[in-house]
Amino acid sequence: MPRADNFPIFELDRTTTPAPQNPIGAKGVGETGTIASSQAVVNAVVDALAPFGIKSLDMPLTPERVWRAIQAARAGGSSGQ
């Protein structure tokens, strides 16, 4: 089990960039919960397409891009797009 003395020394810092749109420079965090959702959806689609041999897809996942990846996989071609 690692202990505190097994870790290197950490140097912590912070960067503050005030928002110029308001007088106090505050920024909202309203989209924080949506940051990882896109990647989760892409991973779910790639998992669903695994039987076709598809290992990755580029974002955005348009219906055409998914369809083309399936068609390419069926034809034995590249399926990374």
Higher pLDDT, 57 or 15: 57
Tokens of 14: 């912070």
Confidence band, pLDDT 50/70/90 cuts, at residue 32: low
In the chain, the amino acid numbered 54 is: I
Q: Poorest-confidence range of 17-21, 24-28, 42-46?
A: 24-28
The enclosing H or E element of 48 equals helix 37-48
* The pLDDT value given to residue 37: 82
* The pLDDT value given to residue 79: 46
Answer yes or no: pTM beyond 0.85: no
